[in-house]
Structure 1
Amino acid sequence: MADLRSDDRAQVLLVAGFVLAASFVALTLVLNSVIYTENLATRGADAGGGDAISYRNDVADGLESIVESVNRNGSTQPVLRDKLSRAVVSTSRRAAQFQVLRGISANATLVAVEWGTRIGQNRTAGNFTNSTVPASADVASDWTVATGVDGTRSARFNVTDSSELDQASGDPLTLRVTDGSDDWTLTLFNDGTADDTTIEITNAAGSSTCSAKKNPTIGLTAGTFNGTDCSALEFGEGVSTPYDIEVRNGRQFQGTYSLVVRDAAIDSTNYGTAPDVPFALPAVYTATVHVEYQSTSLSYATDTQVRPGGSDD
């Protein structure tokens, strides 16, 4: 057995003490580093994080309406992507112009696009029939807009002549969303005068209505009727994805309509080309934008999604 004299034991204890002290210091540094990193990631304006987040939000908010405009003015995916990419750069520069004066570098670039299909009809005297059957034929009034739909955004009706709407007792325009088991329907009609327009929403929970004066705009996915919130209007409530969108009595409507659907099957024989007949064209459903923000005290980078009509969800 080793013979440890008292001075040797003291040296061993001293070395062990130094080792433990060094370990505690190292552990403290590691823990402080973790805490600092988490704190920095969640800091607000005191670390410049508020400015970076504001820049990101400004870019995303500015692009939402721009993407809708791009969708209205493009016919192919390459054209849409090119227009959107240039719009992102332009919006990024406008949002960053005041940051440059403070020595801050900020920019955004388009990195990905999720594609959908924009369906609509732009003739103010048009109806809600398909494009292949004469308007005098009944089959033109009853047709399927899209099948296997995984999402719908920016869906709007603009009634241009309420007097052309049928009464509830007749055959009013009906939009049906169905997953094969559950249905959601919107019926649009007038009450016998040219000045009053009503929508009735029906699903598994029952029926409810909202009314407005003549020639209203209906935000199907925004839940608005002539700019006023309609609590009954929850598009597709109670219906699971994927679902089909169907029209009944499409001739009992005069006005324009548009909607953007995702992952939908489209029967091209029902559509022509914009703007004279119902159309189905490529559209941006979601755009992913990479945002970078650099200052002397902060380096911030993130991807943010722009959803045209996303506030309707």
Structure 2
Amino acid sequence: MKKTDDSAQLLLIAGFAVGVGIVVLTIMLNNVIYASNVASESSIDTSRYDISNIVQISREAYENAYQDATVNGSLATFNNTRFEENIDTYLYKASENYGISGLTMHMENNSLLPAYFTHSGLEDGKGNWKLVDGVNTTDSFAMAINTSILAEEANRLSIQAMDVSSSDLLWSIEMYNSSGNVNVTVEDDMTTIGTYQSTSGEIDIFNNTIDGSGVPTFKFSDSTSGHDYYMIVNNGNYTVGTYSISGNLTSGQAFTQTRYRVVNPTLTVSSSGMSLSRTLPIPLPGGST
């Protein structure tokens, strides 16, 4: 009887030891897996951070290079050689800096393109988009429409100021091709303010001029006064041109957006374990909000 009891006790102890061993082994295995995953995720996050950082500084480098290659933002004074030199200097310095962390970067296609009135500035970009949000006042607003790449009436370009609270229309301007000229229609929330034609496409809304000559009024400031508003663009895919707008947001922060051209370079970033290529549509000279 004692012999039987001893055997049972030995079996119980052995089973307990096996159970403890399995638990310990499981914990150790989980720790190894966890440590491996953390290291892997850390590596991925680092790569993503580096790439995101490269994209951001590349955008800023193109904007700064373009602004440096112009005098007072004038297209007539743009120095393409200086622009290319600035970009080459940036690429050399950036490649040198990121090379220390094992990343190589390469940029192709620095060609400047005419800008469409899309979000990205490219023809296939988003045609209906928000130009600026939460505006309190606007102190400059001008456009130069390219009369050779201009929407027909069915796809007319529209820019609207909308009340932030109610989304009601406060003011709008519509433009389309009319026998090679720019037909311009301006409305507020109630009526048509005026219908005009432009031969050169130069339209200064804040200063009430078309082709350098005065028009009765665009009534932009009158229509938006006392409102917080946002501005949207519709059908931007069908019209090429430049624009500049500045003012103050409801937060009191000043904003400026100016677009003259667009560049669409391809950025390639590589390391020992990955390679990523991405096109970067960058409207120039850029702006801030």
Which one scores higher on RCO, CA 8 angstroms, separation ≥ 6?
1
TM-score, length basis structure 1: 0.43
TM-score by length of 2: 0.46
